[in-house]
């Protein structure tokens, strides 16, 4: 956040600051939207999902082997 200026800002300076703040806010919203879109993130990088699925299968197989004994 910007600090309160000690001098009066001109209307043009205020407009530029408002525009910069809007741009930064838009970038933040875009980043948060991307982070919340789990389906898109998995399609971008499926390896963590593959690793979890492999771990689940390995645990299932281990339990089946242990129960047979």
The two three-digit tokens of residue 66, written as one number: 């242990």
Summarize pLDDT for 2-52 with one digit per residue, the tens: 556 567 899 999 999 999 999 999 999 999 988 888 888 778 787 887 888
* pLDDT for residue 4: 60
The two three-digit tokens of residue 65, written as one number: 């082997």
Among the residues of the chain, which ranges form H helices? 11-36, 38-44, 47-68
* pLDDT for residue 5: 56
Q: How sure is the predictor about 1, in pLDDT bands with cuts at 50, 70 and 90? A: low
* pLDDT for residue 49: 78
Q: Does the pLDDT at position 64 exceed 60?
A: yes
């Amino acid at each position: 956040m910007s600090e309160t200026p000690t001098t009066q800002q001109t209307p043009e300076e205020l407009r530029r600051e408002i525009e910069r703040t809007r741009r930064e806010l838009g970038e933040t919203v875009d980043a948060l939207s991307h982070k919340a879109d789990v389906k898109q993130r998995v399609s971008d990088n499926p390896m963590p999902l593959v690793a979890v699925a492999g771990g689940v299968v390995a645990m299932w197989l281990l339990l089946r082997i242990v129960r047979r004994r």
